[in-house]
A = this chain, B = another copy of it.
Amino acid sequence: MKVSIQKFDFQSDKILSSLAPEEQQAFLDAAETLTFKKGKLIFYEGGIPTGVFLIKEGKAKIYKTGLDGKDQIFYIYKAGDLMGYHALLCNEHYEDSCEALETCDILFVSKPDFDNLLLKISKLQLLLIQNMSHEFGVMVNTITVMAHKPLRERLALYLLVLQERYRSEQTEIILPREDLANIVGTARESLGRLLKEFKEDGLIEVDGRAITIKQPAKLQKVASSEYS
């Protein structure tokens, strides 16, 4: 059975984009713009949430550092995505950290202002509910993949997922090997070996850090445990 890529997409751009123009404007009015340079932390595990973040420009990774010091990356947010609202909404400390992968322009709305928006824009609560219940399904799929799929299939799958997420902006996947390894859940060295194999099989093309998918259909098959 084919694995569907959309089942790994949070659709975090849908919350804001589903609001009416004047409601979106209310959000913009409440926001201030912050800039995070590459490598800077936007929020971090254990920290206390003070608001929500909307990426205007750039990409950021959400991850968690395990006891062994290795990171697990759950998601790469891109321009248009709303993020950092989970811990805020349940009044808990952040369970995860968020780091800018490149220079990011970010709209920040403080907790009081966001609470205000929640009251003023009745639809917003419903959109959050819809989005988080969708995210739950994504997490369920992610856990299944991590726990059961062998590395080769995980890599094939996540290459497709990343490609899809980057598609609107660029055709290649540009990401440090270590980050890619931490998405797929493996060691940097094992990742390298497999990338080489994929390259030799003509599934992808590699140019330094940039990975281009050449045969998505075949990659799909690998991701779905159907390889010759």
Residues of A with Cβ closer than 8 Å to B? 1, 3, 7, 64, 66-68, 70, 72, 74, 85-92, 95-96, 125-126, 128-137, 139-144, 146-149, 185, 224-225
Contacts and interface: CB of A to CB of B under 8 A. Distances in A.
As for how many copies of this chain the complex holds, the number is: 2
Contact of A224 (B67, B87, B131, B148): B67
A139 B139 CA distance: 6
Nearest to A128: B129
Contacts of A131: 90
A225 B136 CA distance: 28
B148 A185 contact: yes
A87 B136 CA distance: 9
* A contacts with B: majority SS: helix
Contact of A87 (B64, B92, B133): B133
Given A89-B133, A133-B89, A134-B92, A141 B64 contact: yes
Given A3-B67, A68-B148, A146-B147, 12 more contacts: A66-B148, A67-B149, A72-B147, A89-B133, A91-B130, A125-B125, A128-B129, A129-B129, A129-B132, A135-B136, A143-B146, A146-B146
Contacts of A85: 133
A74 B135 CA distance: 15
